[in-house]
Amino acid sequence: MTKNKKRCIVFFVSISLSLLAIELFCRAAYPESTNARFTQLEKYLNKSKRFNSLVDVIENDEELFWKLKPSSTLVDSMGSYKGIIANAQGLREDHEIKKKEDNEVRILFLGDSCTFGYNLKHDQGFVDLTEKKLAIQFSKLKIECINAGVPGYSLFQGKKFLETKGLNYTPDAIVLNFGWNDQNNWDNRSDTDHYQSIKNSQPPNIFSYSRFFRLLWSHNTSSTTNANTPRLSPDQFAQQLRDIINLCAEKNIKLFVLVWPFDYNIDKNKNPKTRGDWQIAQYHFEKQTTLIDLVPVVQSLSNNKQNPHTLKDIFIDTGHATAFTNEQFSTQIYTALASWIKLKLTNS
């Protein structure tokens, strides 16, 4: 071996050991940081008496901002989230979702805490109730309704979940339920801005696994505190929905969109408008997807002259539905899905 070769080897080994030492130091001195959206959520949950139990069953995720901790449960006395929180796959299910069977109709429910089942056990929410109704109607089929609702999610996160995980469950249909968290103002950047900031802070290719290089790239991020921008504006919400419609068309997946009601839809003292801006954004796509409008359901419950229901009967708060209302919603959702399944069977 020549002297030049020896020098090259020594030089290469020295550089490698130096980089290794720097990497080990960075890992010890600078623990992996969480993304800004997850940090904001954690701070909010820790200050909230109603929601603080959730902080123990969520975790940071650079693609989704946060996700449910796999195989997590909470006792009923711990707050508004109770019972089964997530199975090993991070879904609010009491069983593992396995490979789809030949005679199976699989429906993926994407949404926020309303889909997840706020203040409800997993079998009290409209996802599980809809599955039971469909299973009775179509007893010769296996009906699998998958609850992929995650508290706090916006439509942007729902789309990212669909792209990164949801399609792996090979759904025949998808039921979307978003719009509440999208209108919240957390700072002066939207969810799309935050996501781009995360991507800008990640080194390319294999360097993304290095704490040292991640620290070098971290200067590409910025922090903001002024709360004057919704997580998704109505226009951004519409664009995310448009992207999902196109993706479902490409994958030959039937798409249903829930128009979720709020207390202002039945109490004009809270909002003079009969529909909110994010609800209106969904109506614009009624020719491109199947809308399941749940607003008339709560209006009918409230306006029933023989047996009128109060706001407390219908909603837990401004938008989370009670167990009673989830039962009413499941009937409406079941009706729409059953019609689609019948047509699907006729055409097959």
Domain edges within the chain: 63-188+226-347
Contact predicate 46/52, CB 8 Å: yes
How many Cβ atoms sit within 10 Å of the Cβ of residue 37? 25
Contact assessment for residue 164 and residue 110, using Cβ atoms and an 8 Å cutoff:
no
pLDDT in tens, the chain (348 residues): 576 767 776 667 777 676 666 656 556 655 666 789 999 999 999 888 788 889 999 999 989 999 999 999 998 756 788 899 999 999 999 999 999 999 999 999 999 999 999 999 999 999 999 999 999 999 999 999 999 999 999 999 999 999 999 999 999 999 999 999 999 999 989 999 999 988 877 656 655 555 554 545 444 555 554 568 999 999 999 999 999 999 999 999 999 999 999 998 987 666 555 678 889 889 889 889 999 999 999 999 998 888 889 999 999 999 999 999 999 999 999 999 999 999 999 987
Q: From CA 293, how far away is CA 260, in angstroms rounded?
A: 7
Amino acid occupying residue 13: V
Q: Rounded distance, CA 197 to CA 62, Å?
A: 11
Q: How many Å apart are CA 89 and CA 235, to the nearest integer?
A: 32
Enumerate the β-bridge partners of residue 84: 73
User: Strand locations in the chain, DSSP E?
Assistant: 58-61, 65-68, 72-74, 83-86, 104-111, 142-147, 173-177, 185-187, 229-230, 254-259, 290-293
- What pLDDT, on a 0 to 100 scale, did the predictor assign at position 78? 63
d(CA 267, CA 118): 22
Phi, psi torsion values for 67, nearest 5 degrees: -150, 165
Lookup: tokens for 84:
């089964």
- What's the token pair of residue 168? 């792996």
What would the two tokens of residue 267 be?
């109490």
d(CA 217, CA 50): 37
Judge: domain 63-188+226-347, CATH 3.30.1490.190.
no
- Measured distance CA(262)–CA(260) in Å, rounded: 7
Q: Which residues pair with 142 in a beta bridge?
A: 104
